[in-house]
Structure 1
Amino acid sequence: MKTALIAASLAALAMSTVNAQTTPTVITTKALVSACQNSASTADQAFCHGFAQGVFDTYSMSRHPSRNPEFICFKGQSPSRKQTMTDFLAWTEKHPQYADRSAADTLLRYLASAFPCKS
C-alpha cells in the first residue's frame, strides 16, 4: 500500500512537470523576413504566407464596432497575399527599428500604414 502511494505521488509529480506552462516563443520580424526572403524553400514560403494569413485572420475575427474598431481597410479589391508580403518586405527595410519586435505586431503596423481606415 505504501509503495503504491509513493508510486502514485511520483506519477502525479511527473505529470505536473509535463503540464508546466512554458514561455511562448515570439517570432521576430527579422525571423519572418528571413523566411519570406528564402524563395528557394517551399517550407519557408509556406510559413511566411501562413503566418501572415493567420495574423490577418486573427485581426479580422477580433474586430468589434465600438470596443475594437478596424484600423486596416482595403479599398476596392485587396492585393494578393504575395504582393502584400513583397510590399511588407520593402517596408521593413525602411523601418529597421521593428526587426527585433513581434512579427505579428510589425505586420499589423505595416497593414495599418498601407491600408488605413478613414476616421
Structure 2
Amino acid sequence: MKKLSFTLAAASAICAAALTFNANADQKIPVLSAQELVNHCKLPASPDSRSYCIGYTTAIYDTYLATRHPQRAKNTICVKQPAPKRDEVIADYVQFISQTAPMLANDPAAGTFLSFLSMRFPCAKK
C-alpha cells in the first residue's frame, strides 16, 4: 500500500511539474530593446544605469567571443589593438541607434549591438 501511495504521489508531482512547465512555455519572455539599452547608456547616466549598460554590452561581446567557432563561422567583429575606449564605443552605439538607425529601436538590443560592432569593427576581406 505504501508503494502504491508513493507511486501515485510521484505521478502527481510529475504531472503537476509538466503542467507548470507547459504553462510557462507559453509565456513571452520580454527581451531588452535597443531603445531600452540606449536609455541606460546615454549620458549623463546614473551609476546604476551606467553599470547596467557596461555590464550588458560587455556580456554581449564576451558571449560573441566565447561562442563563435572560427572553423564553422567566419568572424564578423575584429577589434584592432589598441582597442578604443569602452565609453567611446558605447557612445557611438547610442548615436547609431538614436540618429543613424532609429528604425532598429524596437529590435532586440543584443542583435543590434552585435550588428553595430560588426559595422564599427569589420574584419579584413581575405
Hey, what's the Cα distance between the residues in 1 that align with 2:44 and 2:120? 24
Say which SS state the counterpart of residue 124 (structure 2) adopts: coil
Task: Tell me the TM-score normalised to structure 2 length.
Answer: 0.77
| TM superposition outliers: structure 1 runs of 4+ over 4 Å | 4-20
* Secondary structure of residue in 1 paired with 2:76: coil
Counterpart for residue 112 of structure 2? 106
Quote the Cα distance in structure 2 between the aligned partners of 1:36 and 1:13. 45
Q: Any stretches of 5+ residues in structure 1 without a counterpart?
A: none
Listed as ranges, the matches of 1:1-119 within 5 Å are: 15-16=17-18, 18-20=20-22, 21=25, 22-37=27-42, 39-93=44-98, 94-119=100-125
User: What is the aligned length?
Assistant: 119
What is the percentage of aligned positions where both structures have the same residue? Answer: 31
Larger mean CA deviation between 15-24 and 100-109 belongs to: 15-24
Q: d(CA) in 1 for partners of 2:7 and 2:81?
A: 68
Cα deviation, residue 28, structure 1: 0.4
Deviating more after overlay: 57-66 vs 20-29: 20-29
* Structure-2 separation of matches of 1:43 and 1:17: 38
Aligned counterparts of 1:40 and 1:118: Cα–Cα separation in 2: 35
Question: Retained in 2: the 8 A contact 1:62–1:68?
Answer: no
Distance 1:10 1:41 in 2: 49
For the aligned residue pairs, the C-alpha RMSD in angstroms reads 2.4
SS in structure 2 at match of 1:108: helix
